[in-house]
Each structure stands twice: as C-alpha cells, then as structure tokens.
Amino acid sequence: MKQKIKSFFKKNPGRAIKAKEIAKQLEVSTEFEYEQLKAVLFDLTEELFLKKNGKRYQLHQTELSSSVTGRLQITQGGFGFVIVDGSKDKDIFIAERNIGTAFSGDIVEVYIFATQKGKSIEGQIVKIVKRKREQIIGVLKKTGSLYFIQPDESDIHKDVFVDSKKLMKAKIGDKVAVGEIEWTDPKLNPVGRIVEVLGKAGKYSTEILSIAKEFGLTDKFAPAIITETEKIPVKITPAEIKKRVDFRKKNVFTIDPADAKDFDDALSVELLENDNYSVGVHIADVSHYVTIGSNLDKEASDRGNSVYLVGKVIPMLPEALSNNLCSLVPHEDRLTYSVIVEITKRGRIVDYQIKKTIINSKRRFNYDEVQAIIEGGKGDYAADILTLQKLAQILRKKRIKDGSIEFSTEEVKFELDKEGVPVNAYIKESKDSNNLVEEFMLLANKTVAKHINGNKEKEAKPFVYRIHDRPDPEKLLDLGRFVKSLGYAFDSKAVKKSLQLQKLIESARGEDEEVLINELAIRSMAKAVYSPQNIGHFGLGFDYYTHFTSPIRRYSDLIVHRLLYNYIELKGKVIYSYGDLQKICEHISLTERNAVDAERYSTKLMQIEFMKNHIGEEFEGMISGIVHFGLFVKLKKTLAEGLIRLRDLEGDFYVYDEKNYSVIGKQTKKIFRLGDKIKVKLVRVDKERAEMDFIVIEEN
C-alpha cells in the first residue's frame, strides 16, 4: 500500500487530493484496505513525504523541486539517467516505472524527488520535450497476425507495432525505417508506419545504410550541390599563384593511413642559414573553393564533419573536392594554407608565419613506410623525415612536461572481404610515425589559436576555439580513492592536476592496470567541444588551441581558415559575429558527438559480425564495466565487449558494490573488480540487438 501511494503521488507531483479520491484512483474497495490507506497517509505525512492541507494530501515541497530538462539515457537494465547539460550535480536516476513513453536520447522534463543523503537523485519524466528520433530502424517481424519492428538500438526497449496496411511492401526479415511513431501509453507498445525499406537484414550494404539512417547521415548530395561543385574552376590561374608563397620546388610530402582517400595535410622541412629549421605544415585551402553562403557551404555546415564508418566514409564535401581538387595528391599543384615555423635544433619556436601557399607533393607516404624509414634510416626523403622525427620527439617531451596528458587508448581495425564482411580484427598500433604527424598538427593548431588572441588584446576577435574544461573535482576524488586501492598515488587536490594525471598514467604504463586507469581517467574528464569563448585545453595543457589542420573533413577548420585570412590579410574585417560563432560551435559540437556515436556503433556491429562465428570459443578479456545486473568484459584481441550476467556467475550470490567498482560474493567474499583480467567463453551473439553474452571460465 505504501509503495502504491508513493508511486501515485510521484506520478501526480503537484496534485492535492482527498483520501477518498486516492482510494478511488488506487481501486481500494474494502473497508480494511481503506483504513490501511489512511494509516499509510498518516505515516507518510509524519515522514514529510506528504503534507496535509485540510483534508487534502500533497507531495511535500522537500520531495519536489522545480522541473529540470535534460537528455535521457536508458541502460540495458531498463532504468535510465537524465543528464542535464551544464549541471555539476549527479545524473538523475529514472526507475523503469517512471520513464513513461520516453525513448533513450529524448530531451525530457523531469520532476526530481528528494532522496536520502548519499543516494542518487531520483526523478520522474513528466514531459517529452523533443524526440531524438523521427524514425526507428529495425527488422520487420511477425507473431500471429501482428507485425512489429525489433529496433536495432539496444537502448530502445519497446518493439514498434505496424499495421498490416502500412508495411510498404516490406517482407519479414527486411531492415526498415519506421516513422510517424505514436506512443501515448507506457503500458502499450508504440505504433508507426514503414517509411523506407533498407534491404535484407545482415547484408553489409543494408547495415551501413541503417546506421546512416539511425544517425541522420547521408552520403548523397543534392543536385544543386553537385552542379555547384562541377562549376568550380579546376585550373589554378597565374594570378592566384602570384598571391601565394610558392613551395612547389621544395620537398613537401603527405603521411596518412594506407587506406586514406583524402589528404588534407602535408609537411616540409629545410635547414636555414642560421642553423635553425623551417618546418611547413601545409593544409588544403578548402576556403578558396567553398565560399561563404554557397550551397556547398550550407551543406558542409549542416553536416559539420565527415563520418568514418567501418568500410564507408560519409564525407562533409563531395568527392570532387574531398578526394580530388582539395586533396593534396602527389605530383599535382594544390592550393594550401600553411603555418611555417622557425624552430631551433632544441625545439624552441623563434618565429612563425601563416601564409596562403601553393605546393606540389613529391611523395604520398603511409605510416608504415615512414616508420620503416625512422627505424632503418633509409628511404625516400629519409633525411627530412628523420629531422622531423627528432624535432617531434623534442616537442612531445616538452609538451608532456608542460602538462599535456598522453592517454593510452586502443582502436580496433578490420580487414573486410569484397562483401564487406570482416575476416580479421586487430588492434591498431600507434607508432613514432603517427606521433610525428600528430605533433606538428598540434603545433600548427596551437600557433594559429595563439596568433589570434594570444597577445591578450582588450577586445578579443571572434574566433573558434577547441576547448577542454577542467575535470569535475568529485570525479577526481573518486578516481584518487580507487587508484589508491590499486596501489597508485594520485593527489586530486594538486594545483597542476594535468601533471598529476599524466604522472598516474605514466606510472601504470605497461602494468596490468594500464587500460583500466586510462579508462577511469578519461571518464573523469570533461568532453572537448568548440566554443568562441576560450578557456584553454586542459587535456593538452594549452592556453590556446583550435582546429586548423583538417578543413576537408571538419567545418570548424574551414571557419578558422576564413577567420584567419580576414584578420591577417584584410586587417581585422569581421565576417562572423560572436553570436554567429556561438551557434556554429554548438551545432558542430553536436554533429561531432553524433559522428563519434555512429562510428562507435559501426565498430560494435562489425565486432558482433566478426564474433558470431566464434560462439563456444574461449577468450582473454578485462572487466570493463560493472552494473547491478552484470559485468561487461572487453576482449583483449578485438576490443569486442559483451556481458556476463550476475545470474550466470556460479557458486555464490553476487552483490553490486557501486562505490568500489565491483561485485562481491555473499558467502565466498569472492570479488570481481573493474579492470580484472578474466577468461571467458562466448555463449550467445544477438546481431539484431548487438549484444554478446559470456560465461566465466577461470579468473586471474
């Protein structure tokens, strides 16, 4: 009775109501139940859960705060959390019974209920402010005479029913998009109509199309965009060349992944008469071709960035630009925007220029080719590459000493057959050749940002910065407490927190806990975003930072190129107001987040596809997450992640210990802890739900 009454008032937080009406609403029919109800109302009033005005009862003000708005995330356990942007409070816990008709990702309004000290803030969704999805992607199924869609995304826990007259000729087993979704009663399933048939579920082309649909992406460009692209002059005029610094006779080359199709950065180095080096970071001059207000510009702005799904690129710009005219392919004249840095042999920057240039790349290197030159000392342009490598090492060492954090992260890559099916999965290794390129890109980005407002002018020019806020102090305290239990030192109250984090990460390098400590440190971090308001970049330890080096695939960089040219060449002309840039930054931060989510989901589906042929096999892994219903395990060789359900842990009843990132056996006191190495057997793969289940074989 008490739970029923509490639930009723939580669902009706502002309502004042008499006992008889409550009894009617709760379908209390006997005299005994009514007396019980009145006794519970009295107890809840004494407990200050309810307050009484005359004969009416109402949720107490201490139990009810003003509503807040945030984004809902639903877990595999069916409950959820609402994350409020800009709030330093903990996420708001939403029990499954209080989610109502919200989907994961929706913007929702929440009433917050007071909780006991130390417990999570709990709330109830009272309004859907904005749906994340206009369409839901899934596989068409049938049971009896009922047609329904089983959603692809595992955080959508309701199948969507479809009337037999609204199937759009889809067949059972087809992957489809369902739109016009209506859902008003949480006790019933949502309903909708099929608006597009994507193809047979399981086919690579269908799965890629479904991911794109799910995240609002398309690799197709409207006819007006293609027409405008085709009208762009391919030939570089002598007048344009005359305006630029000519690097065509110098040793300029690109270094990219072996499978790269667009090359938007190139490097050069030469020894000066004063024994210093001149290092050129040459970036594709996309702003020369994509002008403000053009159809191309609007399209690039809407997309915000290119998206790199497994085996498929969804570009920000049409291929005629991204893979041809703006791509720094070898042996072709290309327009570039360059940061040319004078640097001593000890890595001190003594001067720099930011100039429009023209280059002709002498060689297209991939990372493995450059790595072979670094290790062997021989090969094309070996002297230049070895010089750049030596300077990059000096710059990197200084950057880390100054507070830049070097997280050790892993990325899985796939070998695909002609049908797009993964035949192999492996961990991408980051080598000196990768670090070489990264170091000079960081230098260029930092130099550009500092050039604009680094002199602390009274009135800063409107600009786009890449910012990274300081970590939440409470999260750092939690991190410090946990790593101490592992035998590591971390002072969360130190003034230079980035140095403390780097010291922690370095101390764990090569140890069993390395991956875990990196993961926990990353979780304690804020997310990097774009903003016209500069607060520095905590993770890199830079006071000024922006994105300048990838205008083919990031709209932020294209904007930065335009701003630079106008401030440097046109002496301060403003083409974007602060308000304009604020809107642009908010938008491209969202498109970036969407791209990351799409890319991760693409990787997850490919891991599932690869693992489906390995059911019954044993694997080495690490406990990567712990929740009340189980242990998430990430496999060592493929980074594929699956679940060990607590009910499948034999020999004891295990209890979730949230504070210590562990589960503990009630009788045996056996502990499974976040970061523990573990041997598992794959027992189930569900492609449609993108889920894998493991059982424990043996623990280390």
What are the 10-residue block averages of pLDDT along the chain, 700 residues in total?
A: 82 77 86 87 82 81 66 85 75 86 90 61 85 90 92 83 93 93 88 93 85 90 95 95 97 94 95 97 98 96 96 94 95 98 96 97 97 96 98 96 86 88 89 96 97 69 93 86 84 82 88 80 90 94 96 98 92 85 96 94 92 94 89 92 93 88 91 90 88 82
pLDDT at position 91: 82
User: Contact, 222 vs 298, CB < 8 A?
Assistant: no
Question: Does residue 320 form part of some domain?
Answer: yes
How confident is the model at residue 631, as a pLDDT? Answer: 94
Is 92 within the bounds of a domain? yes
pLDDT score at 457: 53
Query: 462 and 483 share a domain?
Result: no
Res 112: pLDDT: 79
The amino acid that residue 92 corresponds to is I
The answer on 417 and 329 residing in a single domain is yes
* Residue 608 forms part of a structural domain: no
- The CATH number covering residue 37 comes to 1.10.10
Looking at residue 518, its pLDDT comes to: 85
d(CA 483, CA 496): 18
Q: Which residue has the tokens 């840095």?
A: 341
Q: Which of 551, 570, 599 is the last residue of a domain?
A: 599
Residues 447 and 481 in one domain: no
Q: Are residues 383 and 239 in the same domain?
A: yes
Distance CA 334, CA 128 (A): 50
116 with 150, same domain: the answer is: no
> Are the CB atoms for 153 and 74 separated by under 8 Å?
no
Q: How many residues does the chain have?
A: 700
Distances from the Cα of 265 to the Cα of 202, 289, 379, 513, angstroms: 37, 17, 21, 36
pLDDT for res 59: 75
Residues paired with residue 530 on neighbouring β-strands, in sequence order: 466
Do 336 and 187 have their domain in common?
no
Q: What is the DSSP string of 220-267?
A: ---HHHHHHHHTS--SPPHHHHHTSEE-TTS--EEEE-TT-----EEE
Same domain, 431 and 489: no
CATH value at residue 678: 2.40.50.140
Same domain (yes/no): 300, 372: yes
Asked if residue 683 and residue 634 are part of one domain, the reply reads yes
pLDDT of residue 546: 98
Torsion of CA 624, 625, 626, 627, to 10 degrees: -160
- Closest C-alpha to 671, from 647, 694, 700, 648: 700
What are phi and psi for residue 579, nearest 5 degrees?
-65, -40
439 in the same domain as 381: yes
Same domain, 424 and 512: no
pLDDT recorded at residue 549? 98
Look at the block and give the residue holding tokens 């065509």. 248
Task: Indicate whether 114 and 180 sit together in one domain.
Answer: no
- Residues with Cβ < 8 Å from 494, sequence gap 6 or more? 500
What is the 3 state secondary structure string of 103-153?
Answer: CCCCEEEEEEECCCCCCCCEEEEEEEEECCCCCEEEEEEEECCEEEEEECC
CA distance between the termini of the chain: 47
Q: In which domain, by residue range, is 145 found?
A: 136-201
Residue 456: the pLDDT is 56
Q: How many domains are there within the chain?
A: 6
Of 47, 62, 77, the last residue of a domain is 62
According to the model, what pLDDT value does residue 558 have?
98
Whether residue 544 is contained in a domain is answered as yes
